[in-house]
Amino acid sequence: MYELTLASGSSYYLQCPAKIGLVRLDGGDVCLIDSGGDKDAGRKVRRLLDENGWHLRAIYNTHSHADHIGGNKFLQDRTGCKIYAPGAELGFVRHPVLEPSFLYGGCPPDELRRKFLLAEPSDAEPLTQEVLPDGVEVIPLPGHFLDMVGFRTPDDVVYLADCLASRETLEKYGIAFVYDVGAYLATLEKVKTLNAKLFVPSHADAAEDITELADLNIAATYDTAERIAKLLAEPTTFEALLKRVFEEFSLAMTFEQHALIGSTVRSYLAWMKGLGRVTAEISDNTLLWRKA
């Protein structure tokens, strides 16, 4: 874990649960793309920087999920680096309690206030093209979360954040976290049109061609929608539907999974309702969902 792997030229990534990108700049400076899941990840990154005599100039967050920003505060406190985050993600990076609050739909219980969902706050600034190193391009990748982005470096390496789940993850779980299903599908179609020397997804193997994996994620997204629709043959409350989804995908419910999968299922329902594929009605003060 946390081995430094050369992607091309001055572009690297650290092999860890959510890959961290590293780009060498001028004068011994480097920047990171994301920072790992917690302060332990930050310590390992700091050790790597010291071993190579590198100075951390900035961290560019692709989005605000805790496994991507968990090392921010440790590294900022130790190095004084700048941190940048895109769009609405910035508020979540500055105030990470928004993530479990968003998922829970209210003030989150203690079970959702752990490092998997709750990072430490960091002093982040808005991500704009002007704050990026020369030659680095930001690529909008919405869908997985609010305003997620990726980056292309001058070495033609593209860091894709969380817009692709690995084949192994899809085979094991079947359903992946998505915030906006329509935007997510559009992002996947966009990714298929990109060319690069190397693609580096956060949760899948780096590859020169990403088309097959993008198609697999598209197919899994439509399959999830079909399976949800199948479970709505009769009017169903959300909690009853969620229980059936966990059974359909052979998942074990925990507080965290209830929040993550629950949020995802709500996003599918909103998308499918917009397409006219499901309906929602209120009967006897109960909100019921049904296949249209």
According to the 3-state scheme, what is the secondary structure of 3-49?
EEEEEECCEEEEECCCCEEEEECHHHEEEEECCCCCHHHHHHHHHHH
Strands (E), the chain: 3-8, 11-15, 20-24, 29-33, 55-60, 82-85, 125-126, 137-140, 149-152, 157-161, 198-201, 278-283, 286-291
Query: For 185-204, how does the pLDDT look when each residue is reduced to its tens digit (9 = 90+)?
Result: 999 999 999 999 999 999 99
Residue 159 pLDDT: 98
Q: Do the domain assignments include residue 124?
A: yes
Residue 116 pLDDT: 94
Q: Per-residue pLDDT for 89 more than 90?
A: yes
Q: What is the rounded radius of gyration, in angstroms, for the C-alpha atoms of the chain?
A: 20
What's the token pair of residue 284?
Answer: 């006897």
CA 132, distance to chain mean position in Å, is: 20
Domain identity same for 242 and 154:
no
Cα–Cα distance measured from residue 216 to residue 209, given in angstroms and rounded to the nearest whole number = 13
Domain identity same for 244 and 151:
no
Residue 217 pLDDT: 98
CA 238, distance to chain mean position in Å, is: 24
Other Cβ atoms within 10 Å of 291 Cβ, number: 16
In this prediction, residues 58-74 reach a mean pLDDT of: 98
237 three-class SS: coil
Residue 1 pLDDT: 79
Query: For 12-60, how does the pLDDT look when each residue is reduced to its tens digit (9 = 90+)?
Result: 999 999 999 999 999 999 999 999 999 999 999 999 999 999 999 999 9
Query: Are 35 and 42 a contacting pair, CB within 8 Å?
Result: yes
Q: Calculate what percentage of the chain has a pLDDT beyond 70.
A: 100
Q: Do the domain assignments include residue 136?
A: yes
In this prediction, residues 252-267 reach a mean pLDDT of: 97
Q: Which domain holds residue 247?
A: 232-291
- CATH of residue 267's domain is 1.10.10
What's the token pair of residue 255?
Answer: 């507080």
Q: Per-residue pLDDT for 2 more than 90?
A: no
Q: Give the pTM.
A: 0.97
Domain identity same for 154 and 236:
no
Domain identity same for 149 and 243:
no
Domain identity same for 105 and 247:
no
Q: Do the domain assignments include residue 69?
A: yes
Q: pLDDT grade, residue 151 (50/70/90)?
A: very high
239: buried, middle or exposed (CB in 10 Å: 19+, 13-18, 0-12)?
exposed
Q: Do the domain assignments include residue 212?
A: no
Q: Do the domain assignments include residue 221?
A: no
Query: For 208-239, how does the pLDDT look when each residue is reduced to its tens digit (9 = 90+)?
Result: 999 999 999 999 999 999 999 999 999 999 99
* Average pLDDT value over all residues in the chain: 97
Q: Do the domain assignments include residue 31?
A: yes
Q: Do the domain assignments include residue 184?
A: no
Cα–Cα distance measured from residue 255 to residue 1, given in angstroms and rounded to the nearest whole number = 28
The 8-class DSSP code of residue 271 comes to H
Residue 133 pLDDT: 97
Q: What domain count does the chain have? A: 2
Domain identity same for 241 and 140:
no
